[in-house]
């Protein structure tokens, strides 16, 4: 069965491009260009996955997630952006997106990412993995809940390989793990990213702006 997908991006041209690339393998049931359009549309259509631009004219992708999750908790969000600002990307992930890929991703890789997110797994692009490693930097205990505030050595290893451009399968081979275990590590990182104390991550974001 094809996954039902809603596209949220304010660039009609980009939406058309994505549609052309993935329409064969997924069912694009709706499109929106603003937060105000997207929220009622997603609530009504109840898709499997929403491809969500990080930046929208009337607010961030965060606004769309916040407006939908209460009523449609099963809808999964995959952030899609050209934005390089780490704070924005981390912000959307913390709001509840299951992953982040850059807009230069190929059609086939996007299809894989959509399927993975639909199954409840996390999708980290190399760039996001770098941002996360930066936010959870080693040797800087962030205080609070130690289990949530720090990555395990294994999670760190997996993230570093993602940042280096390895696919889950390649990581599994290299670390002698099953793909399922790799996915579990990535999901665990995602959970920590979403649950860790807001205060510490905003300090990180502040510092980044000052560097």
Interaction site with other proteins (CB under 8 A): 82-85, 102, 104, 125-127, 129-131, 133-134, 137-139, 160, 163-166, 209, 211
Measured from the CB of residue 138, what is the shortest distance to other proteins in angstroms? 7
The nearer residue to other proteins, 85 or 148, going by C-beta atoms, is 85
Query: Strand, helix or coil at 8?
Result: strand
Neighbours of 184 (CB within 10 A): 16
Question: In the complex with other proteins, which residue's Cβ is closer, 108 or 119?
Answer: 108
Q: How far is the CB of 131 from other proteins (least distance, A)?
A: 7
CA distance linking residue 43 with residue 148, whole number of Å? 32
Cβ atoms within 10 Å of 130's Cβ, excluding its own: 17
State which residue, 1 or 176, has the beta carbon closest to other proteins.
Answer: 176
Determine contact, residues 51/5, Cβ cutoff 8 Å: yes
Q: How far is the CB of 103 from other proteins (least distance, A)?
A: 9
Cβ proximity to other proteins: between 85 and 184 the closer is 85
Q: How far is CA 193 from the centre of its chain?
A: 11
């Amino acid at each position: 069965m094809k996954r039902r997908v809603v596209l949220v991006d304010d660039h009609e041209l980009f939406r058309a491009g994505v549609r052309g690339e993935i329409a064969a393998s997924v069912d694009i049931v709706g499109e929106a260009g603003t937060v105000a359009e997207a929220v009622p549309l997603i609530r009504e259509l109840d898709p499997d996955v929403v491809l969500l631009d990080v930046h929208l004219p009337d607010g961030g992708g965060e606004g769309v997630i916040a407006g939908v999750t209460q009523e449609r908790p099963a809808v999964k969000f995959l952030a899609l952006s050209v934005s390089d600002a780490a704070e924005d990307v981390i912000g959307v992930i913390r709001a509840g997106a299951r992953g982040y890929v850059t807009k230069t991703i190929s059609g086939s890789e996007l299809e894989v990412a959509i399927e993975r997110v639909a199954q409840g797994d996390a999708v980290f692009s190399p760039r996001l993995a770098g941002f996360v490693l930066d936010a959870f930097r080693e040797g800087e205990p962030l205080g609070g809940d130690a289990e949530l505030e720090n990555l395990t050595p294994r999670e760190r290893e997996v993230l570093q390989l993602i940042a280096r451009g390895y696919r889950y399968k390649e990581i599994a081979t290299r670390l002698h793990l099953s793909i399922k275990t790799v996915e579990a590590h990535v999901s665990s990182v995602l959970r920590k990213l979403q649950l860790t104390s807001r205060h510490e991550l905003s300090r990180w974001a502040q510092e980044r702006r000052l560097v």
